[in-house]
Structure 1
Amino acid sequence: MNNKNIYVLSLALIVVVVIWGCSNKQEHLKNEITNIEKQLFNDTTGIIMPQKAQKTIELYSKYIHNYPHDSLSAEYIFRAAQLCTAIGNFEEAIKFYDSLIISFPEIPKAAEAMFMKAFVFDNYLYRYDKARENYMLFIQKFPNHDLRRDAEKSIQFLGMSNAEILEILQADADKNNLEKNQQ
């Protein structure tokens, strides 16, 4: 075998080892995420354990950083946002939702992320201006989405207490019943 063949063979072997090593690291990280996800909830209470949630978010972030164009990154961004919301880290949830909307605008989860971003502003951060802005943007970008009516109702009820919302819904139901009875 001449030197040129040895060089080409060595180079090919190095490429194979590097590719295998990278995919092996990716698989290892996926497995680590799967394992920690199984430990997220307390077995007796069913409540999310904050320490496990934080570790899961860190692993999601690591995967997203290392494999930003992988389709699984979009799912992990969404899950990270949901976990942040669940443990009360609302500003971080907003950042993850923004990341999904910007990095993966074409996937169906982008619409859900936009709605959830508005929802977090509305129900957890009480930033009704931002909630309205994001609900309106959602309606504009996704006029045929299943969550459109929810976004419209959320805009209608921005800043209202549950009692006020219930009062309006009851009045609407009474009005509808009255109209049906008159027909």
Structure 2
Amino acid sequence: MKLNLHRNGLLLLAFVLCLLAGCKHEKTEQEKLYDEITAKEAELYKDKTEAIDKDKAIEMVRMYAEYADKYTADSLAPEYLFRAAEISENANQPNNAITYLTRIEENYKNYKNYPIAIFKKAYIYENNLKNQEKARQYYEKFIADYPDHELAEAANSSLMFLGMSDEELIKVLEKLSKE
């Protein structure tokens, strides 16, 4: 009888060990992509004294967009779109930046940097795309929706100077400095 209990105990132990060995956590595709992004970010930003490699930056944007496309409900999706927009703007790809910011605007209204995304759209329209009408639209939207935001004053100033030539701007600034 004791031998039988001992044998059953060993069988149970062997079964539990086999079960544990077979239950290794395989990373999901989402976890793998997140890990790849984290590694690429570390590589891209490791040397802050050098300019960022444009090819690596473009690859980073592609990965951010892929994550946001595949995992739209994930809390990282709007953050990755925001980062993709920043890199795109800095890589002189303002239309791509606008595309990513528009996705935030349309799908992630509760995202912590949503107001900044709206401001950045106005800024890019004004300074990169030279689209004064769209810039005005987004500065006005920003001011109406976020009058107490830390960027509200900058948005008001941008609206005031929007469309002015350099000469007109200098005259206005000189006049303001005299007052």
Q: Same fold (TM over 0.5)?
A: yes
Does structure 2 retain, via aligned residues, the 8 Å contact 1:60–1:76? Answer: yes
Aligned twin of 1:133:
137
**RMSD, aligned α-carbons:** 2.2
> Structure 2: which amino acid aligns with 1:148?
A
> Structure 2: which amino acid aligns with 1:30?
Y
| Alignment partners' CA distance in 1, 2:127 and 2:167 | 15
Greater Rg, structure 1 or structure 2?
2
TM-score of the superposed pair, with normalisation by structure 1: 0.77
SS of the residue 1:152 aligns to:
helix
- Displacement of 1:53 in angstroms is 0.9
Count, aligned residues: 157
Aligned twin of 1:158:
162
Q: Which string of whole-angstrom CA distances, capped at 9 and with x for unpartnered residues, describes residues 112-163 of structure 1?
A: 0000000000001100111001111111111221111111100111123556
Task: Call closer, same or farther: CA 1:161–1:37 in 2, change over 3 Å.
Answer: farther
- Displacement of 1:25 in angstroms is 2.0
| Alignment partners' CA distance in 1, 2:76 and 2:48 | 30
Is residue 92 of structure 1 aligned with residue 96 of structure 2? yes
- Displacement of 1:105 in angstroms is 0.5
> Structure 1: which amino acid aligns with 2:117?
A
Instruction: Pick one of 59, 64, 79 that aligns with 2:68.
Output: 64
Instruction: Pick one of 45, 52, 56 that aligns with 1:48.
Output: 52
Structure 1 spans left out of the alignment, 5+ residues: 1-16, 176-183
> Structure 2: which amino acid aligns with 1:155?
L
Does structure 2 retain, via aligned residues, the 8 Å contact 1:64–1:77? Answer: yes
- Displacement of 1:44 in angstroms is 7.9
> Structure 1: which amino acid aligns with 2:99?
K
Task: Call closer, same or farther: CA 1:82–1:163 in 2, change over 3 Å.
Answer: farther
Aligned twin of 2:3:
none
Aligned twin of 1:123:
127
> Structure 1: which amino acid aligns with 2:122?
A
Task: Call closer, same or farther: CA 1:125–1:42 in 2, change over 3 Å.
Answer: farther
Structure 2 spans left out of the alignment, 5+ residues: 1-22
| Alignment partners' CA distance in 2, 1:120 and 1:79 | 15
